[in-house]
Structure 1
C-alpha cells in the first residue's frame, strides 16, 4: 500500500474509533430523562416542612399539606400529569434529600454555593423576598450593624441561608443555631436571643403568632426565592420546563397574585413592607 494509502487508512480508522466512542455517549444524553422518570413514577416528590406557614401548612387532623409552596408545585405536577407526594424534611437536609433521590424539586430556596455542588438552581426566581429580623416588642432593628456586637445573640435555623447571612454580617454577635423556626421562636420568647433572622414574609407570619417587632434592616438584603433540582444526567429538559413555568407565572402576575392572596387570607398586613420593596 502507498504512503498516502496508509494515511487514508489511518484516518478512516481514527474516524471510526471516534464515532464508536461518541455514539453511545450521545445516545445516553437524553435531556428529558428526568421528566420521563417522573412521569413513569406517576409522582412529583416535593419537600414539605413543619412550622413554615403559610408556604407549608400541615393539617394536624388529616396530615394533609397545603400552602402556597405546595400549590405552586401542585401546578407543576399537573402540567406533568402526575400527583404530588410530600416528603417531610428541613431546609438543612435538602441537599442530602436530593442526593438520596427523596425529592425531585424544591421551591423557595436561596442559591447556596455548598448546596450548589450537588443541586442545580434556576436563576429565574419565583418571587423576590428580603431578609428581615424579628425582635422583642419595643426593640426594632434599623440596621444590621446594631446586631453586630458581642452583647447581641441572634438565632437562626441550621443549614439555612439565614445562617450564612448571620455569620457574614454579624461576626461579632453570638449566633445560636437551631433546627427549625419554632425552636428559634422559643429562644426569643425565653429571652435567650435578641433577634431572629428570617425572610421578611416569614417574619410577618411570626408576628401574627408572637408579639414583637418586624424590621427590614438597612442595607436591605434582597433574597431570591427560586427552584432547585438534583444535578444529574438528563435534567436539562426539566430545568427548561421549570424555567418556562416560572416565567409564565411571573410575567402574567400569577405568582404575585397567589402570594398576595395567601398572605392576606392569613391576615398578614403587607403595608409594613418598605416602599422600595416589591416581590
Structure 2
C-alpha cells in the first residue's frame, strides 16, 4: 500500500514519519492562522458523507466536522479523498482531519488519531442468486468465492486476515463494489455495517444485509497529522465530550435515518 511506500522511503533516507512532518506548520497553528478547518471526506459514501448536485455535503462525518469547526470558531472546507489516499492527504496537509477510520498500527506510524468515535462491525451484501455457506468469516475462505472491498477500507484488512484464500476483488470505491455484485463480477461485498446499510438504502435491488461473524467490531477514529499534538489533544477532548453526551450517536442515527434507514430497522446486534 502507499503508506508502506512512504514509510519505506523514510527508512531508506534514515528519517522517521514524524521527521517528515517536522518542517510543516502544526495543524493547530495552521487552523488558527487561517481561521479554517479543512476536512477530508469520501464522496458518495452514505451515511458517512455524500455530495449532492448542488455541491452540498451531508452525512455524519460532515456533521462532526461542522461541530468541530463551530467549537474552534473557524470556517470549514471539505476536500474529497478516498480510502486509498486519505493517509497521504492528511500527512501532506491537504486536510486537517478525517472522521471514521481504523487506527491500524501501520497508519499510526504515519498519522495520529483521536477517539474512538464509535465501534462498528462488518456487514455484507450478496449478488442476486448467490447462496453463501454462511456468514462466518471462515465461510468466505474459498477461492470459488469472489469477495469485493474498497481499497484502503477496513474491510480489506479483515478479508485478508480471515479469508485469505478467497478471490479478492479490490476496487477503488464502495460504489464500485455495489455495482460489481449487481453485475455478477463479485459474489459478496463487505464493508462496515453502516456503509453496507447505506449502499442498500441507495439501491433497493441489493439483497438483504448479512452481519459477519464473529463480530470483530473495530473502533473508528478521527485521523490527524503527526505534529506537536495540540490539535490532536483538542480533538480527543471533543470526542470524549460528544460521545459521552450522546451527540455522536445522534449524528450517526440521524444521518442513517435521512437516507431511509429507520432506527427500528437497525439490527439489535449493531451497536455504536
C-alpha displacement of 1:119: 0.5
Q: CA RMSD in A?
A: 1.9
Question: Which of residues 137, 146, 150 is equivalent to 1:153?
Answer: 146
Q: Is 1:38 the equivalent of 2:34?
A: no
Q: How does 1:96-135 map to 2 (within 5 A)?
A: 96-122=88-114, 124-135=115-126
Q: Please tell me whether residue 193 in structure 1 is matched to residue 171 in structure 2.
A: no
1:163-201 Cα distance to aligned partner (Å, 9 max, x none): 111111111110011000111111111111110110001
Match of 2:81 in 1: 89
1:147 deviates by 1.2
Give the secondary-structure state (helix, strand or coil) at the position aligned to 1:84: strand
Cα distance in 2 between the residues matched to 1:84 and 1:266: 24
Structure 1 runs not aligned, ≥5 long = 1-28
CA distance in 1, matches of 2:124, 2:26: 42
1:227 aligns with 2:241: no
Over 6 Å off, 4+ runs: none
- Structure-1 separation of matches of 2:269 and 2:151: 30
The answer on whether the counterparts of 2:147 and 2:168 sit within 8 Å (CA) in structure 1 is yes
The number of residue pairs the alignment matches comes to 245
Q: How far did 1:77 drift?
A: 0.8
Q: 1:276 to 1:56 in 2, by over 3 A?
A: closer
> After superposition, what is the alpha-carbon deviation per residue over 1:48-106, rounded to whole angstroms, capped at 9, x for unaligned?
2222012112011x212222111111110111111111111101101111222101011
Cα distance in 1 for residues equivalent to 2:128 and 2:266: 18
Aligned counterparts of 2:138 and 2:37: Cα–Cα separation in 1: 43
Alignment check: 8 A CA contact 2:153 2:191 kept: no
Q: 1:241 aligns with which of 231, 234, 241?
A: 234
TM-score normalised according to structure 1 size: 0.82
For the pair shown, which has the larger CA radius of gyration, 1 or 2?
Answer: 1
1:265 & 1:45 partners in 2: Cα distance?
A: 24
**Aligned 8 A contact 1:112 1:161 in 2:** no
- Which of 71, 78, 88 does residue 79 from structure 1 map onto? 71
